[in-house]
Structure 1
Amino acid sequence: MSDMITADLVDLDLSADTKEAAARALAERMASQGRVTDLEGFLADVAAREAQMPTGLDGGIGIPHCRSAHVTEPTLAFGRSAAGIDFGAPDGPADLVFLIAAPAGADDAHLTILSSLARQLMNAEFTSALRAVGDLETAAGLIRGDEVPSGEGRQDAAASTGGETGGGATGTASAASTGSTASATAGAGADGGTQGTSSTSQGAGSVFADTAAAPVAASAGAAAGSTAPPAGASAPAPAAPESAGSGAGSGADSAERPFRIVAVTSCPTGIAHTYMAAESLENAGREAGVELAVETQGSAGFTRLDPAVIAAADGVIFAHDVPVRDKDRFAGKPTVDVGVKAGINRPTDLIREVRDKAARGETSAPAAVSGGTPVERAGDSTEGYGTKLRKWLMSGVSYMVPFVAAGGLLIALGFAIGGWEVNKAPSVMDHFVWTQTGSWGALLFQIGGVAFKFLVPVLAGYIAYGMADRPGLVPGFVGGAIALDINAGFLGGLAAGLIAGGVVMGIQKVRIPAALRGIMPVVVIPLISAAIVGFLMFVVIGKPIATAQKGLTDWLNGLTGANAILLGALLGLMMCFDLGGPINKVAYTFATAGIAVSDPGDSAMKIMAAVMAAGMVPPLAMALATTVRGKLFTRTERENGKAAWVLGASFISEGAIPFAAADPLRVIPSSMVGGALTGALSMAFGATLRAPHGGVFVIPLIGNPFLYLVAIAAGVCATTALVVLLKGMRKQAPETTTANPAADAATTPKETKQPVAA
């Protein structure tokens, strides 16, 4: 970590009063060292990561972090705040702030080093030393590991305190090496008697000790002359010792085998929270007297736990905010499934929960283990069915959209190059002339057509994947292909995906012998589920869905006049309501489903045009508003406004999110008004669009392009006027004074009033 942080990247008197200001102050230090090339772009990436989940941790720690294309090398900056800064932690503001910046293509070695900081933050001695340090170089040295906090790393001290002072392998190693624990270390065998329990948790490939020896922490307590009652209190003993599992390391039948837990931790970025949760769980495991092995699925990749370790485990803890990879390895065991921050903040509770489940015999079926959506974790028992259904559908849509974009643009380019008769061209396998533009147009058109054939199967397959993980893929794809074959279309794909996921989840609830579990996801589940889904789609529900799909198509093709204009306005409202969120995606998916055929109707292409036009309005309007009335916006918003020109022109509605997040009550309604106007005008003008994406870059492919641009301009002007009016009318808040005069000088009066708008 020596090249990641220097004294120039440390601020022991951080005067920022918001997390945004803190990130900016630390990022400016990175930029001054040439480690960040685009300050505003990097801060936007930090804000986007922060929007996924607050980065405040219990214990007064804030750890904003991201991977960004604007970072030249892995970098860490540290700030200490006397007043504290709110990073969303349950226990209050953070006084220790670490900003971690990783390049978009950071190598595994550097990401591994970054993860070591996350583990250090779980060590109270480390954080105490940072709070007490008085000079920049010493603070940087502590973080790099050059300076050792008082009491850390001394094995004699670790042994005298039960091996818990180090918070890592060092403490447990010294504890395990004391004389009174010789039998335990001798029995550990595979661990070499050097790291005890810690070696199983930090080395993903290591195995549990094949003995019935007491846990290392408990043994260390015995070495220090204690009876270690906390371990016994939090870890009730089984009804009877398991002599069969004791192994040869201990001949006493009364010896109790430790409770064994395997855990997986992961977070969206895979840099900080992943490893902090692992360290927290490991520490809690030692205190509770259990053997705990953690698999950290971070950005630097992951090493799978040894199957023998998983097989020997008595329970499983998932602390994750992204999908657990190869989750079916942990099927059939008592399981606690929570977010990654729960692994950091309440590891003792999680260990107790999994032990209680094991004591009650709640061995979860494979469906319960794989029941969360792989795209967005759905393990929270408080989520309603409607929330889970939305996640399942968005899983399918998110995988389908790239096929839509690639196939649609290829088809549109094929028409542009080869003319409107290109759809009647013979196969390029039979006729292709290198010097004829018509042949190239036909080639692009036919490639796009092949890509479009995957839309419905991919939609169905990944809806099922969202419900039941990998076992849902086969019946989902089969059902989607059948829906395409019987002309059930988009509606058939939705139904096939939900049916496939439900069938697999039902099969997984059936208890089977352990010997057969290995072939279930590979042979049994795909065979039975594909047969059931195929039967239902061909014989039972396929024809009614196909009829409904034809009726919907006929209704769209029959829309004229006022009905078409109202539909355009509605789609415009939906596109601008959540700017890339679920409602936006529903409208976009509705439009792309209409053109996802080789010969879409005129009405379907009008709907696609209206949706894309409305989606361009919010970012373009925010860009225009920051240009004509910049004083109403903060400096950061004015910088974001420059990027919003390009994002809006490219049909990326998310370009308006920073403005909506800062002032939702003014920006979102204004955007919806402009989007509805644009959608209605686009439909009224009869503009058509065959490409599902592209913004102004596919204007040559649009029918009635001039009037189409007029519709977009009208919506942009309406939104701009409304947002400027609303922001100008807002009640002015009294000026506030920050503790940093330089920050005050660089901040416009409107910046200090921004929280009022929110």
Structure 2
Amino acid sequence: MKINELLLVDGIALNETAASKDAAIDKLIGLLDKEGCISDKAAFKEGILARESHTSTAIGGGIAIPHAKVDAVKKAGIAAMTVPSGVDYQAPDHKPSDLFFMIAAPVSGSDLHLQALQRLAALLMVPGFKEKLMGAKDKQEFLQLITEQEAEKFPKESAEQAHADKTVPETAPKEQSPESSKYRVLAVTACPTGIAHTFMAAENLEQKGKQMGIPVKVETNGADGTKNELTPEEIAACDGIIIAADKDVETSRFDGKPVLFTSVTAGINKGEELIQSVVDGKVPVYHSTGAKADVSSDLSNDSIGHQIYKQLMNGVSHMLPFVTGGGILIALAFLIDSANGITGGPNFGSTTAVAKFFKTVGGFAFNMMLPVLSGYIAMAIADRPGLAVGFVGGILAMNGSTFVDPAGGKISAGFLGALLSGFIGGYLVRFLQKAFKKLPKSLDGIKPVLLYPLIG
């Protein structure tokens, strides 16, 4: 899927004015609404503001890419707007933003749109391209500039290839020969939604590496999964690793290697500085403790609220497929019974064999959302040792189990109970990890499989 399939003429506004960040957001949402991309403007704005509350989606250089992946999106789409006078969008370089792209991504369905969004992220990192867009005389020229730049950057890909290989991000480097595959610097990029900033950071790090004559390979943790994954051989041979991420990523594989933790925004704006730090040997050696390393922002520690946000999002992102999949199956069960003339009653949705099957499977999937939410929150806090404790806590919350009534079943603790069990279980295991550091090394093998889950 190409960018001009998501960005339409109706979704472009040139030479606009906006008195504030909120006003710019409202105008961009209006453009997406014109394109027929969203079903509820208020709900979509909540998603945009939730992402902005984490970190501003302004990347510096006058560019901002607000985005959201929420249920209010009917179909994937992009809106674009230029504001020559600029808007204070809390950019990392403290300069006004004058070029905006707002991305609307659906929660479920095909991931074809992700390819176009990743391409857009890569195009915006091309030197001089932003200035061309700002100089466009009309909407048609603006869209034509994007189409031409896309064709220039990805000349070999046809529409048929795009559909056949829809899950491969365009920012991934081409296959290299064994002689040229020795990367001096490796990197991992990730942002909470995995739509734009993940791939812009990857593109910038790769470009800066080429300019510096230093081979760089970047693994992306995007909305369509992990791509361009780093191999054990590459990790062993490299000088160091850059983790440019605003969410937790797997770091135990980097044990004993120099690892630089920073934000995804720094990956976009400080690529050369980060690579040079690794090459100069100024990065400390990372030693895995069994817990996920905290991802820092601008080379400083996250606030407590930022850490809690990332841990919560880890649980929610893993929970959503169970909610959507289970909910759709249950809805199909109701639809089948309705088609057979059944409109209500205590057994509605399970009066026919097929409907009962869908409702049962959907119910199982739906009920898994609380243990999954709790388990992956705990895992974000304490890595794999926290997973079992979090899952069990989520099941206890789902069943409403208490010390007085362990069997439960009367009142479920629900979503709030699963949240609490995930955080309590995760931090309990993290405490155990620190407390057990003094135990003999001969016990290291039984800590994650016996001590942590049993005591937790």
Asked if these proteins are the same fold (TM beyond 0.5), I'd say yes
Equivalence for 2:236: 311
Out of 300, 304, 307, which is 1:387 matched to? 304
SS in 2 for 1:72: coil
Shift of 1:378: 5.8
Could you tell me whether the CA contact under 8 Å between 1:204 and 1:305 is conserved in 2?
Answer: no
Distance in 2 (alpha carbons) for counterparts of 1:131 and 1:102:
25
Q: Does 1:339 align with 2:342?
A: no
Out of 285, 288, 300, which is 1:363 matched to? 285
Relative to structure 2, which stretch is displaced further, 57-66 or 43-52?
A: 43-52
Equivalence for 2:352: none
Shift of 1:202: 4.0
Could you tell me whether the CA contact under 8 Å between 1:204 and 1:306 is conserved in 2?
Answer: no
Shift of 1:529: 4.1
Distance in 1 (alpha carbons) for counterparts of 2:427 and 2:380:
10
Shift of 1:310: 3.0
**Pairwise CA RMSD of aligned residues?**
4.8
Could you tell me whether the CA contact under 8 Å between 1:4 and 1:75 is conserved in 2?
Answer: yes
Distance in 2 (alpha carbons) for counterparts of 1:467 and 1:37:
35
| Residues 532, 462 of structure 1: alpha-carbon distance in 2 compared, 3 angstrom cutoff | same
Equivalence for 2:195: 271
Distance in 2 (alpha carbons) for counterparts of 1:110 and 1:492:
36
Out of 206, 224, 242, which is 1:300 matched to? 224
- Structure number with the higher strand fraction is 2
Distance in 1 (alpha carbons) for counterparts of 2:392 and 2:47:
39
In the TM superposition, 1:456-535 aligns within 5 A as: 465-474=379-388, 498=427, 500-504=429-433, 527-533=446-452
Rg: which structure is higher? 1
Describe the superposition over 1:93-136 as per-residue Cα deviations: whole angstroms up to 9, x where unpaired.
Answer: 11111122222325222111111101111112211211222121
SS in 1 for 2:185: strand
SS in 2 for 1:54: coil
| Residues 380, 533 of structure 1: alpha-carbon distance in 2 compared, 3 angstrom cutoff | farther
Equivalence for 1:210: 179
Equivalence for 2:101: 98
Distance in 2 (alpha carbons) for counterparts of 1:106 and 1:169:
25
Unaligned runs of 5+ in 2: 156-167, 324-362, 396-400, 407-416
Distance in 1 (alpha carbons) for counterparts of 2:297 and 2:13:
39
Shift of 1:396: 12
Could you tell me whether the CA contact under 8 Å between 2:244 and 2:262 is conserved in 1?
Answer: yes
Equivalence for 1:283: 207
Shift of 1:289: 1.9
Higher RCO, 1 vs 2 (CA within 8 Å, ≥6 residues apart): 2
Distance in 2 (alpha carbons) for counterparts of 1:53 and 1:493:
24
Distance in 1 (alpha carbons) for counterparts of 2:242 and 2:170:
13
Relative to structure 2, which stretch is displaced further, 291-300 or 464-473?
A: 464-473
Equivalence for 1:190: none
SS in 2 for 1:10: strand
Could you tell me whether the CA contact under 8 Å between 2:266 and 2:298 is conserved in 1?
Answer: no
Describe the superposition over 1:11-34 as per-residue Cα deviations: whole angstroms up to 9, x where unpaired.
Answer: 111122222222222322332333
Letter in 1 for 2:304: T
| Residues 323, 72 of structure 1: alpha-carbon distance in 2 compared, 3 angstrom cutoff | same
Equivalence for 1:666: none
Letter in 1 for 2:80: F
Distance in 1 (alpha carbons) for counterparts of 2:228 and 2:437:
23
Could you tell me whether the CA contact under 8 Å between 2:260 and 2:283 is conserved in 1?
Answer: no
Equivalence for 2:12: 10
Q: Does 1:108 align with 2:27?
A: no
Distance in 2 (alpha carbons) for counterparts of 1:2 and 1:494:
43
Distance in 2 (alpha carbons) for counterparts of 1:493 and 1:25:
39
Equivalence for 1:570: none
SS in 2 for 1:139: helix
Distance in 1 (alpha carbons) for counterparts of 2:59 and 2:305:
27
In the TM superposition, 1:536-575 aligns within 5 A as: 537=455
| Residues 5, 526 of structure 1: alpha-carbon distance in 2 compared, 3 angstrom cutoff | same
Could you tell me whether the CA contact under 8 Å between 1:479 and 1:533 is conserved in 2?
Answer: no
Could you tell me whether the CA contact under 8 Å between 2:66 and 2:103 is conserved in 1?
Answer: yes
Could you tell me whether the CA contact under 8 Å between 1:205 and 1:303 is conserved in 2?
Answer: no
Distance in 2 (alpha carbons) for counterparts of 1:65 and 1:393:
17
Unaligned runs of 5+ in 1: 154-167, 171-198, 213-257, 407-446, 513-519, 543-758
Shift of 1:272: 1.0
Letter in 2 for 1:129: K
In the TM superposition, 1:376-415 aligns within 5 A as: 377=295, 382-383=300-301, 387=304, 391=308
Letter in 2 for 1:387: I
Describe the superposition over 1:460-517 as per-residue Cα deviations: whole angstroms up to 9, x where unpaired.
Answer: x667634431244357779999xx9999x9999988754532454688999x9xxxxx
SS in 2 for 1:70: coil
| Residues 478, 17 of structure 1: alpha-carbon distance in 2 compared, 3 angstrom cutoff | closer
SS in 2 for 1:129: helix
Distance in 1 (alpha carbons) for counterparts of 2:373 and 2:104:
35
| Residues 506, 261 of structure 1: alpha-carbon distance in 2 compared, 3 angstrom cutoff | farther
Equivalence for 2:273: 349
Could you tell me whether the CA contact under 8 Å between 1:365 and 1:509 is conserved in 2?
Answer: no
Equivalence for 1:50: 52
Could you tell me whether the CA contact under 8 Å between 2:198 and 2:220 is conserved in 1?
Answer: yes
Equivalence for 2:64: 62
| Residues 65, 476 of structure 1: alpha-carbon distance in 2 compared, 3 angstrom cutoff | closer
Distance in 2 (alpha carbons) for counterparts of 1:205 and 1:505:
42
Out of 129, 132, 141, which is 2:132 matched to? 129
- Structure number with the higher helix fraction is 1
Describe the superposition over 1:150-170 as per-residue Cα deviations: whole angstroms up to 9, x where unpaired.
Answer: xx94xxxxxxxxxxxxxx788
| Residues 394, 28 of structure 1: alpha-carbon distance in 2 compared, 3 angstrom cutoff | closer
Distance in 2 (alpha carbons) for counterparts of 1:33 and 1:279:
29
Provide the identity percentage. 32
| Residues 17, 383 of structure 1: alpha-carbon distance in 2 compared, 3 angstrom cutoff | same
Could you tell me whether the CA contact under 8 Å between 1:285 and 1:292 is conserved in 2?
Answer: yes
Shift of 1:40: 2.9
Could you tell me whether the CA contact under 8 Å between 1:274 and 1:297 is conserved in 2?
Answer: yes
Equivalence for 1:76: 78
Could you tell me whether the CA contact under 8 Å between 1:265 and 1:295 is conserved in 2?
Answer: yes
Instruction: Name the TM-score, length of structure 1 as normaliser.
Output: 0.42
Could you tell me whether the CA contact under 8 Å between 2:184 and 2:214 is conserved in 1?
Answer: yes
